[in-house]
Amino acid sequence: MIAFKRLTVATLLVPTALAAAQGIASPTAEMVKATTSVAVGYVLVPFVVTSLKGLPVRDLREQDVTLLVDGKPVKTDLFARSDDAPVSFTILLDGSGSMGLVGKFEGARAAVKALVDQRIPGDDFALFVFSEGTVREQVSFTGDTARLVSAVNAVKPFGRTAFFDALAKMPDKSLLGKNGSRAIILLTDGIDNASELSRDDLAALLEGVDVPVYPSALRSPGSPISPVPGQSAEALLNLEILGHVARITGGRLSIVDDAARLPDSVRLIEKDLRAQYLLGFTPTGAGPARFHRIALRLSGPLRAIRVRAGYKGPSPPAKG
């Protein structure tokens, strides 16, 4: 079984919280830089709001948002919006043998190229490749995108797939990026046949994680989503768990079977993260550490919200 550090620690600088206390904060690159020096127990809640047409909503004010924990309003001490702040992208790439079939790995290469083509100053990227039950760091966090693309191009798919085990390691790895806005981009064909972790283990480990996971499932061209002859029950099950992982971490699942569609899929991820908001609070320390469910309530018209499912720790401060 893989050891996994539960993440309920906000990794942001004190100036971010101070700026938030003055009203709506628009973090600079310095303000959203990640650090591990903040006291353990701070809970960071990234979220994305879109219109019913799927367009990012960028003009929310602090008074428009109410954070609910276990159904009750919570007092927050951080409200910030990214306003096109740089992002630290952790790319987790499936290098197993099944990715070498019918153009799937070529699609993964196209996805990485599309992601780095959308970069802005300050973005950094790390590349991890998994196969044969191991995860290898191919490129540590860097702004050198040519090095990243070269490393992806050099990968030769082989071996079995253990993406549950690999994904469980990524939240800790994502903290090594320099930016406070972070995301894990998982590129896989969605078939796990070698993990020690079960799907329930993985879901439990990721429940309290504050890094959104964006899985892109690269299916064989022409493979249907519905259960028909030729598609295994295993593949359907693993696509479902990928969707669940995206939902509980505040990310979004995309299922792609045409490499030509991958740039559009990645652009949607990038738009999400450039329009991300952050809420934060310090638990009271009262009560046992347990899983608390998170929800958001917005004033104004009906809109879609993507937010992490909850956090693990003591009770939150009640809103007065």
pLDDT tens-digit map of 218-229: 766 555 444 444
Overall average pLDDT of the 186-207 stretch: 79
Q: What residues contact residue 229 under an 8 Å CB cut-off, 6+ apart?
A: none
199 has a pLDDT exceeding 50: yes
> Which stretch of 99-108, 219-228, 308-317 has the lowest confidence by average pLDDT?
219-228
Overall average pLDDT of the 83-87 stretch: 85
Overall average pLDDT of the 250-261 stretch: 80
Is 186 in contact with 89 (CB distance < 8 Å)?
no
How many other C-beta atoms can be found within 10 angstroms of the C-beta atom of residue 59?
9
Overall average pLDDT of the 11-18 stretch: 30
**Which amino acid is located at 295 in the chain?**
A
Of 140, 203, 217, 124, give the one whose Cα is nearest residue 168: 203
Q: Which pLDDT belongs to residue 24? A: 26
CATH number for position 166: 3.40.50.410
| 245 lies in the same domain as 162 | yes
Decide if 2 is inside a domain: no
Overall average pLDDT of the 72-76 stretch: 95
Decide if 224 is inside a domain: yes
Of 60, 1, 31, give the one whose Cα is nearest residue 307: 60
Decide if 216 is inside a domain: yes
| 133 lies in the same domain as 265 | yes
Decide if 136 is inside a domain: yes
1 has a pLDDT exceeding 80: no
38 has a pLDDT exceeding 80: no
pLDDT: which is higher, 28 or 207:
207
Decide if 255 is inside a domain: yes
**Residue length, the chain?**
320
| 67 lies in the same domain as 24 | yes
Look-up: residue for tokens 């908001």?
Answer: 277
Upper half-sphere CA count for residue 280 (Cβ side, 13 Å): 31
User: 43-50 and 304-307 as β-strands: parallel, antiparallel, unpaired?
Assistant: antiparallel
The band of 168, judged by pLDDT with boundaries at 50, 70 and 90, is confident
How many other C-beta atoms can be found within 10 angstroms of the C-beta atom of residue 29?
13
Decide if 201 is inside a domain: yes
Q: What does the block give as tokens for 160? A: 């079995």
Look-up: residue for tokens 């959104």?
Answer: 212
| 19 lies in the same domain as 139 | no
Mean pLDDT rounded to a whole number for the chain: 78
| 71 lies in the same domain as 214 | no
3-class secondary structure, 37: coil
Give per-residue pLDDT as tens, 174-189. Answer: 989 999 889 999 998 8
The band of 15, judged by pLDDT with boundaries at 50, 70 and 90, is very low
Alpha carbon distance, N-terminus to C-terminus of the chain = 43
Where does the chain show beta strands of DSSP type E? 43-50, 65-69, 72-73, 78-81, 87-94, 124-131, 134-142, 181-188, 213-218, 254-256, 277-281, 290-298, 304-307, 310-313
Domain extent for 80 = 14-84+276-313
Overall average pLDDT of the 199-203 stretch: 80
3-class secondary structure, 83: coil
Instruction: Report the C-alpha gap between 87 and 292 in whole angstroms.
Output: 27
Decide if 7 is inside a domain: no
| 123 lies in the same domain as 247 | yes
| 51 lies in the same domain as 143 | no
Decide if 209 is inside a domain: yes
| 185 lies in the same domain as 264 | yes
6 has a pLDDT exceeding 80: no
Total of domains in the chain? 2
Strand order in the sheet with 72-73: 72-73, 65-69, 290-298, 310-313
